[in-house]
Structure 1
């Protein structure tokens, strides 16, 4: 999936402006001359500050797959959230140009249905590639957080910032023994489909939770909701009084509300 810059943010606006500058260079010269491209990038990068606070801690928020594909007419760079999506896009390009390789060097006349096979057949051995090739590499996406701010469940702003900083850890591939997980301030919430129990399973792990979330007894307060029903709370909420007691209490309050107020006399009778 392509990453779309958000024009409402300074960073997103800057990326869009850079794309416009490079498109303008392409229209003027028909290519990206190295000197002109370097000048544009140098001026663009000077608008950013890459200094980080000594208290800032780097956190991996996921991985991005960078696909570069080039031939005699183009040089394209795209970002993808997973390897399979990047390969699917590359295979789509290969199939659209399949007439160039059909029937040559043992290539079938129809492109294979499998994306990996289609890419391998289309591009052929690495040593035989000339004007057309590609690279596909994975990079960690990092984020720096202000470690000086103390998290508190009573601080709405701190909770909002922690929620915005939540990280999703997907499975990296079919052979990955891990499970999809959301991480929020050290709390790990696994949600996955379990064929063994034939159910959607949710597992919460608190061993690595931020120490500021803990209560005086060292436990972390948790509330679990399914749809509109709360199925678990810790610490446990005080039990509700029996229905008969609640009715008696409501009836007593109703009678109290309708009882005429007594006027206290002052002075003699």
Structure 2
């Protein structure tokens, strides 16, 4: 059941209407039709139904942001991981090592460790002069529309998705000499997850060529949302829909109002 959030304008409005109707019923012992109409008219006037629904913000991954500043430039670069960003910063430090060489505790040659090279080159933050840097991780946002796709495409509903998920098939390798790869098949989509000795990594690949037509849009693309842990690393075509729930306050209100005999003026 939906629980209105009083911290949102919509939730606060629903709670306010509920309280007004409860007060009306306490005073009159019923819901007089004319009074309810007046309450609903005033309440609905607070909403703006002319605007398009606001797009929902999703986190579509994250990135390491490196900002490096000196007397000549203020540069911002983006990196997939902290190690790569630090290596880039260390490369700059080593190429300008003569700026700090000869200082207290500074060796003649930069150290091999990227972290050590950066720490020695820039020094303590409160003692830095013309040169400084900032390195931090930040989310990559993506706005996803909550309205239906313009081409009329409808992704399978909850029941259809549950049936497809329950029919998922695992395709294992048949021994170490099998030239195939382990994969799970759901809705015709093949997801391979395996250890790749050439890349020295756990590798995940998705094959969409055999996807069921129900998940393929008119332009041939397929909505895809990929997460690793709690982080979204890829999202394209995904569209969040309102949460489904059992009839709540507003549906009960509508049903009750419809049952009223408006022509009697109750």
Shorter chain as denominator, the TM-score bin is: 0.3 to 0.5
TM-score calculated relative to the size of structure 2: 0.41
Could you tell me the TM-score, scaled by structure 1's length?
0.41
Q: Tell me which of the two structures has the higher relative contact order, counting C-alpha pairs closer than 8 angstroms and 6 or more residues apart.
A: 2
